[in-house]
Each structure stands twice: as structure tokens, then as C-alpha cells.
Amino acid sequence: MSWATRRRERNDWRLERKVVLYECSKYIQEFANIPLEARISNPQPDVIPRPSHNISRANISPYALKVLYRLREAGHRACLVGGGVRDLLLGREPKDFDVATDARPEQVYALFRNCRLIGRRFRLAHVQFGREIVEVATFRACGEIGDEGDGQTVERAKDGRILSDNVYGSIEDDAWRRDFTINALYYDIANFAVLDYVGGMADLKTGLIRLIGDPAERYHEDPVRMLRAVRFAAKLGFRLDPATEAPLQRLGHLLEQIPPARLFDEILKLFMGGSAIQTFELLRHYRLFGWLFPATERCLNHQQRHYPKTLLIRVLTNTDQRLAEGKPVQPAFLFAALLWEPFRERLQHLEEDESDANEAHLVAAEAVIQAQIRHTSLPRRYSLPMREIWEMQQRLTCITGKRPLRLLAHPRFRAAYDFLLLRAEADESAGDLAGWWTRLLAQDESGRDRMTQPAAPAKKSKSRRRRKPRSARKDAPAAPPAPEA
């Protein structure tokens, strides 16, 4: 293909995109002018036809399309929904694709041999294609009584949290029970149109995160929605609707009711989504960070020369950069940074009590981990590498003899060295040590041997015995003769 042809196709694509955005903006403006009460009373969605939006099947996973088409061929209604539709409309690459349908989980299971049913609160079908999983959910309603004689299927805790929610409904019901308006947009495979029941297109255009329904009530139903609101605001660069934002600072305590394992999964999404810095600042602004990492929050509140926060900022910035470059990020490294200051303080207290250094490291690490898992779980596959990163910060201080060369072969050396470099950027006391290891890594084998040789001790000058002058020896009295036997 010639350069002129490529340029012509690119210009055609840009023109088509402008036309699509213009048509889409007209629908959004028309919907934005409709009062919210009128939207609720009118169950009919705002339908954006294919020529007026930018979602193309070429950008949708072929496995998701396969699920959509098979459900439709079986006589069911099937739509893409959630973050996948949102990201496609924003011109982003979706992380995954979720499907909503009027088929029950058992019916989906019967259609796909590679399907398994999961979940207690939400009964879901996972259709697996190699490493890719397409999640299929049945349309749900907010009512308390299931249809077709299923009986009451919504189970609530005393504090209002929803424990089980398998009430099936229509697509309209499903849209109004979702959490945020921008996640309640449906891409209908039947006519390739986008269906908007709650004003999500208008909020996408204005960059607004808005909860569907009463925010305080929705947060009580599922407190994790507070973390999701912060995550979407940081990831998309959107602002929070005032009504959605208002309860955040006073409802953080609800997170104590969430299972630690679920909060651990949410933390990975919060800090490993490419916008860790913005997420961290928003979590602290809305007083949510302290409910996830109380020991770290306590250290941040009495920091010296901004050290703990500076180190966290460095680590989170490094995490975002690695994700942007397509490099892997280890959760153990992230948790080692998030809990480093509580560990350092505990270790300092133990060393002041004249405890053995190795034993102090073990006791301090165990105490910090046990305190943290009461709030968020920390699987052993991450806590053990995290301990090793902490332990090696002490071992890296030994720079003579054979130990430095043996450390280079340690499987956690690179992570520990990277952690030392980030500490050096925030703490001057670690700068010289980090510089020494950087110079060592730049040397060849002979150069490393020279750098790790212990300094030769200074030789003491041997004092020579001063001999007496010969004249003094002559004048000395002779020794008395030995007595005869």
C-alpha cells in the first residue's frame, strides 16, 4: 500500500469519526435536556443507532461476539454492557467484555460446553475461551420477590448490605439496578444500537461519575461502590457528581463490613490500573485510604520531612510508568511499599529494646502483616516475597566480602534493588548505598571482585629495639661466676 493511499484512508477515517461524534453529540444534548424525573417515568431508552456512535464490531473480542450471536440464535436477547461499552464509546481499549441477557444462568450453561456457573450473591456464567473469559449475567431487577414463583431471593444484612440478589427482570430493570450511569449503556447485537436508560451518554460527554438512585442507600447496599467511584474518577479523569461525592467522607467505616479477600481484589484494581497516583490522592481526600491501610495512614499523619508520602508517590509513579510501558508489576512490590513505613517503625522500636537484628526483622514483619490482614487479605504468594524485599534492605548494607556477590544471584535481588533505588529518591540516607550497588552492577567480574574486597588494615610499624652504645656495654660489670657444684 502506497503512502498516498494510507494517508487518504487515514483522512477518510478522521472525517467519519467527526461525523459520528457530531451525530452522537446531538443525541446526548437532546437527552441531557430531559429532566431526570421524566427519564425515570419513561421506561423507553434513548436509542443511538449505529451511524451515530463509534462502536464497531471490529473492536469487540471475537469470543464476546460468538457468545452474543449464539444467545441471539437461541432466541434470547443479548447485549454488551458495562465498562466495555463505556470504553469503546470513549475510544479506549476495553480490558474485558461483559454480556447481559434474558437467558437464565442454567440456559447459558446449556448453550456452551466451556461454561461454568459461579457466584452466590450474583449468579453468573463464565464462558471460557483459553485465557479469555466472557462473563454472562442475566437481567436483574431491584424487587424483593423473584418472578415465576421463585420467592424472595434478595437477602440483606441488618446494615442494609445485599448478601444475595438473584431477582431476574427485564433490561429496563437491569439498567436501573446498576451502579453508575456510565456503566449502564447497552450495545444491542440485534441492531448494533446503543441503548441508554439512565442518561449515561450525557454523563460520558460531560465527564461525570453519577450513581443511579440515592447515593447513601446504594453505598449501604454495597460499600465497595465508594472505591469504584474513586477508581473510575481517577482512571477516566472524570469528576464526581455532588450527590455521589457528598456521603464518601462519612461512610468510609462501611468498608469494615466487606470481606478482606474482596477488598484485596479491589486494591489491585485501584493501584494497578494505570492511575495509581490519582487514586491514592483521591482515597486520602475522601478519607477512605485509612480504612484500607490504617497503619500506613497513621504514619502518613505524623510523617517527617514528607518521607513516607514521598516514597509512596515514587513507587506509585513507577507502577504507572511500568504499566504504560507494558512491563509487569508485582503486587508484592506494591504492598512492600504501602506497608514499609509501619514495618520500619516497628523494627526501630524492637531494635531500641536491644533485640537480635534477625529476630527483630521477623517479629516486625509478622506484626505488620497480621495487623493488615484484619482489613485486607494478603495471600502468602505475595506476603512472602514482600518479607524478602524488606529483609534484603538490611542485607544490602553489607558491601564487602563474598556476600554482595551471592546476593546478586538471589531471586528477589532485582526487586530489592529497585526498592532501594526508590528509597534513595525519597531518603538521602539510602542514596550512597544505592549508588554503590549501581556502580557494582556496571562492573565486570574482576571489577566486582575489586569493589567487594575489604579494605586492607593499616600496617603497624614495628618498633626496633634500641641497642646500647658499645662504650656502655664495655663499662657494664661482668656477671658473677656460677657457683661450683
SS (H, E, C) the chain: CCHHHHHHHHHHHHHHHHHHHHHHHHHHHHHHCCCHHHHHHCCCCEEECHHHCCCCHHHCCHHHHHHHHHHHHCCCCEEEECHHHHHHHCCCCCCCCEEEECCCHHHHHHHCCCEEEECCCCCEEEEEECCEEEEEEECECCCCEECCCCEECEEECCCCCEEEECCECCHHHHHHCCCEHHHCEEEECCCCEEEECCCHHHHHHHCEECECCCHHHHHHHCCHHHHHHHHHHHHHCCEECHHHHCCHHHCHHHHHHCCHHHHHHHHHHHHCCCCHHHHHHHHHHCCCHHHHCHHHHHHHHCCCCCHHHHHHHHHHHHHHHHHHCCCCCCHHHHHHHHCHHHHHHHHHHHHHCCCCHHHHHHHHHHHHHHHHCCCCCCCHHHHHHHHHHHHHHHHCCCCCCCHHHHHCCCCCHHHHHHHHHHHHHHCHHHHHHHHHHHHHHHCCHHHHHHHCCCCCCCCCCCCCCCCCCHHHHHHCCCCCCCCCC
Residue 227: inside a domain: no
Among 140, 119, 238, smallest CA distance to 184 is for: 140
pLDDT in tens, 306-356: 667 888 999 999 999 999 999 999 999 999 999 999 999 999 888 887 668
Residues 173 and 170: their CA atoms lie apart, in Å, by 5
Q: Are residues 327 and 416 in the same domain?
A: yes
Q: What's the whole-number mean pLDDT along residues 437-455?
A: 87
Q: Which residues are catalytic?
A: 96, 98, 179
Residue 44's pLDDT is what? 83
Q: Are residues 55 and 202 in the same domain?
A: yes
Residue 417's pLDDT is what? 94
Q: Are residues 314 and 441 in the same domain?
A: yes
**pLDDT above 50 for 150:** no
pLDDT in tens, 207-224: 999 999 999 999 999 999
Residue 310's pLDDT is what? 86
Q: What's the whole-number mean pLDDT along residues 472-482?
A: 56
Using only the alpha carbons of the chain, give its radius of gyration: 33
Residue 136: inside a domain: yes
Exposure class string for 356-387: b at 16+ Cβ within 10 A, else e? eeeebbeebbebbbeebeebbbbeeebbebbb
In whole numbers, what is the pLDDT of the chain averaged over residues?
Answer: 84
Among 283, 338, 292, 295, smallest CA distance to 314 is for: 338
Residue 97: inside a domain: yes
Q: What's the whole-number mean pLDDT along residues 148-170?
A: 60
Residue 156, C-alpha cell as written in the block: 440483606
Q: Are residues 187 and 102 in the same domain?
A: yes
Q: How many domains, in total, are found in the chain?
A: 2
Residue 121: inside a domain: yes
Of the candidate ranges 19-23, 97-101, 182-186, 306-310, the one whose mean pLDDT is the lowest: 19-23
**pLDDT above 50 for 22:** no
Q: Domain limits at 292?
A: 278-451
Q: What is the CATH number of the domain that holds 435?
A: 1.10.3090.10
Higher pLDDT, 358 or 318: 318
Predicted confidence band at 476 (pLDDT cuts at 50, 70, 90)?
low
pLDDT in tens, 118-140: 987 678 999 999 999 999 999 99
Residues 110 and 116: their CA atoms lie apart, in Å, by 10
Residue 461: inside a domain: no
Residues 326 and 93: their CA atoms lie apart, in Å, by 14
Q: What is the CATH number of the domain that holds 47?
A: 3.30.460.10
Residue 478: inside a domain: no
Q: Are residues 44 and 128 in the same domain?
A: yes
Predicted confidence band at 449 (pLDDT cuts at 50, 70, 90)?
confident
Predicted confidence band at 28 (pLDDT cuts at 50, 70, 90)?
very low
Q: Are residues 86 and 192 in the same domain?
A: yes
Residue 476: inside a domain: no
Residues 330 and 341: their CA atoms lie apart, in Å, by 19
Q: Are residues 433 and 329 in the same domain?
A: yes
Of the candidate ranges 89-98, 157-166, 347-356, the one whose mean pLDDT is the lowest: 157-166
Residue 353's pLDDT is what? 76
Q: Are residues 167 and 73 in the same domain?
A: yes
Predicted confidence band at 296 (pLDDT cuts at 50, 70, 90)?
very high
For residue 297, give every residue at least 6 positions away whose Cβ sits within 8 Å of its Cβ, in sequence order, or none: 284, 289, 290
Q: Are residues 192 and 302 in the same domain?
A: no
Backbone angles phi, psi at 366, to 5 degrees: -65, -40
Residue 116: inside a domain: yes
Q: Are residues 178 and 284 in the same domain?
A: no
Q: Are residues 198 and 302 in the same domain?
A: no
Q: Are residues 201 and 103 in the same domain?
A: yes
Residue type, 239: R
**pLDDT above 50 for 37:** no
Q: Which residue has the cell 466495555?
A: 84
**pLDDT above 80 for 431:** yes
